[in-house]
Chain A
Amino acid sequence: MNIIVCVKQVPDPEAPPTSFEIDAENKKVTAAGVPLVLDPYSEYALEAALKLKDADGSRVTALSLGAELSRDAVKKALSMGADELILLEDEAFAGGDSWSTACALAAAIKKTGDYDLILCGRQSADWDAGQTGCGIAELLDLPAVTIARKIELSGDKVRVERITDDGYEVIETTLPAVVTVSNEIGEPRYPTIRGIMAAKKIEPIIWKPADIGLEKTGEADRKSKIVKLTKPQRDIECQFIEGETPEEAGARLALRLRQEKLI
Chain B
Amino acid sequence: MAEYKGVMIFAESAGGRLQPTGKELLGCGRKLADELGEELSAVIAGDGIADLAQQAIVLGADRVYIADNPMLKDYQADAYVPMMQSVIRQVSPRFLLLGQTDIGKDLAPRLAFRLGTAAVLDCVELAVDDEKRLLMTKPVYGGNALATFTTDSCPQIAAVRGKVYSPPQPDSSRQGEVIAIAADIEPTAIRTKVIEKVTEAREGIRLEDASVVVGGGRGIGSAEGFGQLKELADLLNGAVGATRPPCDNGWVADSAQIGLTGRIIAPELYLAIALSGASQHVSGCSGAKNTVAINKDAEAGIFNVSRFGIVGDWRKVLPSFTQKARQLLND
Chain A positions within 8 Å of B, measured between CB atoms, are 13-14, 16-17, 20, 22, 29, 41, 97-99, 102, 122-123, 125-131, 134-135, 137-139, 143-147, 149, 159, 162-174, 177, 182-184, 186-187, 223-232, 234, 236, 238-242, 245-251, 253-258, 260, 262-263
By the criterion CB–CB under 8 Å, are A232 and B146 in contact?
Answer: yes
Contact of A227 with B290 at beta-carbon distance under 8 Å, contacts A131-B121, A236-B305, A239-B309 already known: no
CB distance from B73 to the nearest CB of A (A): 13
- Chain A residues within 8 Å of B138, by CB: 128
By the criterion CB–CB under 8 Å, are B308 and A239 in contact?
Answer: yes
By the criterion CB–CB under 8 Å, are A255 and B328 in contact?
Answer: yes
- Chain B residues within 8 Å of A225, by CB: 149-152
Binds A, one of B40-48, B59-67, B86-94, B106-114: B106-114
Which residue in B269, B282, B307, B316 is a CB contact (below 8 Å) of A263? B269
How many residues of B sit at the interface, in one of the four size bands? Answer: 35 or more
Given contacts A14-B278, A238-B303, 7 further A-B contacts (CB under 8 A): A131-B112, A135-B113, A138-B113, A177-B191, A227-B135, A232-B286, A246-B313
CB distance from B306 to the nearest CB of A (A): 5
Chain B interface main SS type: mixed
Within 8 A of A (CB), among B192-215: 192-200, 202, 212
Query: In this complex, what residue of B is CB-closest to A242?
Result: B310
- Chain B residues within 8 Å of A177, by CB: 191
Which residue in A125, A128, A143, A171 is a CB contact (below 8 Å) of B195? A171
Q: Which 6 A-B pairs have the closest CB atoms?
A: A250-B320, A254-B324, A138-B113, A246-B316, A250-B321, A131-B109
- Chain B residues within 8 Å of A134, by CB: 106, 109-110, 113
Query: In this complex, what residue of B is CB-closest to A133?
Result: B109
Contact of A125 with B324 at beta-carbon distance under 8 Å, contacts A16-B301, A229-B147 already known: no
CB distance from A182 to the nearest CB of B (A): 7
Q: Can you name 16 A-B residue pairings with CB atoms under 8 Å?
A: A127-B140, A128-B139, A138-B109, A167-B197, A170-B194, A171-B194, A172-B192, A183-B247, A226-B148, A231-B145, A236-B305, A238-B306, A239-B309, A248-B320, A255-B328, A258-B325
By the criterion CB–CB under 8 Å, are B119 and A131 in contact?
Answer: yes
Docked pose: A94 CA to B150 CA in angstroms: 19
Contact of A234 with B305 at beta-carbon distance under 8 Å, contacts A139-B113, A184-B254, A253-B292 already known: yes
Query: In this complex, what residue of A is CB-closest to B115?
Result: A138
- Chain B residues within 8 Å of A251, by CB: 320-321, 323-324
Contact of A149 with B254 at beta-carbon distance under 8 Å, contacts A172-B192, A230-B146 already known: yes
By the criterion CB–CB under 8 Å, are B149 and A226 in contact?
Answer: yes
- Chain B residues within 8 Å of A146, by CB: 105-106
Contact of A144 with B324 at beta-carbon distance under 8 Å, contacts A128-B141, A256-B308 already known: no
Docked pose: A238 CA to B119 CA in angstroms: 38
By the criterion CB–CB under 8 Å, are B121 and A130 in contact?
Answer: yes
Task: Tell me whether B304 is interfacial, beta carbon within 8 Å.
Answer: yes
Docked pose: A163 CA to B191 CA in angstroms: 19
CB distance from B253 to the nearest CB of A (A): 10
By the criterion CB–CB under 8 Å, are B269 and A250 in contact?
Answer: no
Query: In this complex, what residue of B is CB-closest to A132?
Result: B109
Docked pose: A129 CA to B322 CA in angstroms: 40
Within 8 A of A (CB), among B277-312: 277-280, 282, 286, 290, 292-294, 301, 303-312
Docked pose: A238 CA to B278 CA in angstroms: 17
Docked pose: A16 CA to B144 CA in angstroms: 10
By the criterion CB–CB under 8 Å, are B150 and A183 in contact?
Answer: no
Docked pose: A231 CA to B279 CA in angstroms: 12
Binary per-residue interface labels of chain B (91-132) against chain A in the complex, 1 for a CB within 8 Å, 0 otherwise: 000000000011001101110111011111110000001000
By the criterion CB–CB under 8 Å, are B308 and A99 in contact?
Answer: no
By the criterion CB–CB under 8 Å, are A143 and B191 in contact?
Answer: yes
- Chain A residues within 8 Å of B316, by CB: 245-247, 250
By the criterion CB–CB under 8 Å, are A238 and B149 in contact?
Answer: no
Query: In this complex, what residue of B is CB-closest to A248?
Result: B320
Docked pose: A255 CA to B327 CA in angstroms: 10
- Chain A residues within 8 Å of B152, by CB: 225
Task: Tell me whether B179 is interfacial, beta carbon within 8 Å.
Answer: no
- Chain A residues within 8 Å of B279, by CB: 13, 17, 20
Docked pose: A230 CA to B269 CA in angstroms: 26
By the criterion CB–CB under 8 Å, are B248 and A187 in contact?
Answer: yes
Query: In this complex, what residue of A is CB-closest to B289?
Result: A262
Task: Tell me whether B143 is interfacial, beta carbon within 8 Å.
Answer: yes
CB distance from B157 to the nearest CB of A (A): 10
Docked pose: A198 CA to B212 CA in angstroms: 51
Query: In this complex, what residue of A is CB-closest to B193?
Result: A172
- Chain A residues within 8 Å of B282, by CB: 17
Contact of A234 with B286 at beta-carbon distance under 8 Å, contacts A20-B145, A125-B142, A225-B151 already known: yes
